[in-house]
Amino acid sequence: MAAAVIDGKAFAQGLRGRVADAAARFQAETGRAPGLAVVLVGEDPASSVYVRSKGKACQEAGMTSIEHRLAETTTQAELIALVEALNADPNVDGILVQLPLPKQIDDKAVIAAIDPAKDVDGFHVVNAGRLAVGEDALVPCTPLGCLMLLKDQMGDLSGKDAVVIGRSNIVGKPMAQLLLGESCTVTIAHSRTKDLPAVVRRADIVVAAVGRPEMVKADWIKPGAVVIDVGINRIEAGESKTRLVGDVAYDEAAAIASAITPVPGGVGPMTIAVLLRNTVVAARARLGLGAEAGL
Ligand code: NDP
């Protein structure tokens, strides 16, 4: 039987609607909209597109978007000075510094300078630590989006065997922590994992966050497993065209899995929706307002 297609685009649209409602309530309560500052250093075309779409999504949700575009030659001290000014700005609830940064700037030093209460990307070690010990944290957007899709599809995840392929700080590690928090039995696989197909075959839940086009094959998947494909890979598609594929060989895996996210239209749209959600959550928490249901 063919797998159910997990429609991340539709789920993200619903979440953005709930965020817009929450932003309107925040405005009514406080007299201002939640504010997200996005900082872009340099002219990287992909980053520029991301920053523009984040700003647009913010405005569509009734939130204030503050964009800072800095020259490629910006120094680390200049960037940290801007981050500190944004930390001190009472109208800024979330700060996102678009990665990657030019080579003269150390990502870690910049992330460490962000006020953890405004760290809507969830990359600050304080938020990573809070997630690890099970305290309230701002959680990286992509893995939190994956968890939302999984819970929507499967309900209670407790006791499920989950395999996360990839151990980056942005996706793999926080994904594993979130699944552990849902009482899954979690395995984190990576480039040194022995017999990866056999490891993946144990899983009720597979999250692939590798960056290798169509690496996960049908015969790696346990029949009935739920597959979340985080990968975004552009491959040649003939006649000098390209197309996007995930880390999972979609067509063949969809014949074995019970549910699967497509690429595009699965995890991708969740990332910005969760960024907006994290900004409203950060705004309410900073002002000591209660949490919103449904976010
Ligand atoms: P990284 O390159 O930081 O991490 C990749 C991980 O995959 C590493 O842990 C690496 O292992 C592991 N890996 C690499 N090759 C293999 C292999 N042959 N077998 C097993 N594991 C392997 O990538 P990210 O986590 O940042 O991103 C992963 C993918 O997700 C990319 O395609 C990226 O484009 C996509 N992505 C999508 C987002 C979205 O919004 N949908 C957001 C963020 C990322 P090791 O640590 O041992 O090197």
**pLDDT confidence bin for 1, thresholds 50/70/90:** confident
Ligand 1 center–CA 165 separation, angstroms:
8
Hey, what amino acid is at 65? Answer: S
pLDDT tens-digit readout, 109-149:
999 999 999 999 999 999 999 999 999 999 999 999 999 99
With beta carbons less than 8 A apart as the criterion, state whether 41 and 50 touch.
no
Q: Please, what are the domains in the chain? A: 31-127 (3.40.50.10860), 141-268 (3.40.50.720)
pLDDT tens-digit readout, 79-92:
999 999 999 999 99
Give, using CA atoms, the residue closest to atom 17 of ligand 1. Answer: 191
With beta carbons less than 8 A apart as the criterion, state whether 124 and 116 touch.
yes
pLDDT for 136 equals 95
* Catalytic annotation present for 98: yes
Identified catalytic residue from 54, 160, 173, 222: 54
Confirm or reject: Cβ of 165 under 6 Å from ligand 1: yes
What number does the ligand 1 atom closest to the CA of 270 have?
40
Q: What is the mean pLDDT of residues 90-97?
A: 98
Distance CA(248)–CA(251), nearest Å, equals 9
Identified catalytic residue from 93, 119, 121, 204: 121
Q: What percent of the chain has pLDDT over 70?
A: 100
Confirm or reject: Cβ of 211 under 6 Å from ligand 1: yes
Q: Cβ contacts of residue 115 below 8 Å, gap of 6+? A: 87, 95
Residues 140, 64, 14, 143, Cα dihedral to 10° = -10
**One-character DSSP codes across 231-265:** --EEEE-STT-EEEE-SB-HHHHHTT-SEE--TTT
Identified catalytic residue from 93, 98, 153, 160: 98
Q: What percent of the chain has pLDDT over 90?
A: 97
Distance CA(234)–CA(165), nearest Å, equals 19
pLDDT tens-digit readout, 34-60:
999 999 999 999 999 999 999 999 999
Beta strands in the chain (DSSP E): 4-5, 35-41, 64-70, 94-97, 161-165, 185-189, 205-208, 226-229, 233-236, 242-245, 259-260
**Average pLDDT of every residue of the chain:** 97
pLDDT tens-digit readout, 256-282:
999 999 999 999 999 999 999 999 999
0.85 exceeded by the pTM?
yes
Q: What is the mean pLDDT of residues 65-75?
A: 97
* Catalytic annotation present for 121: yes
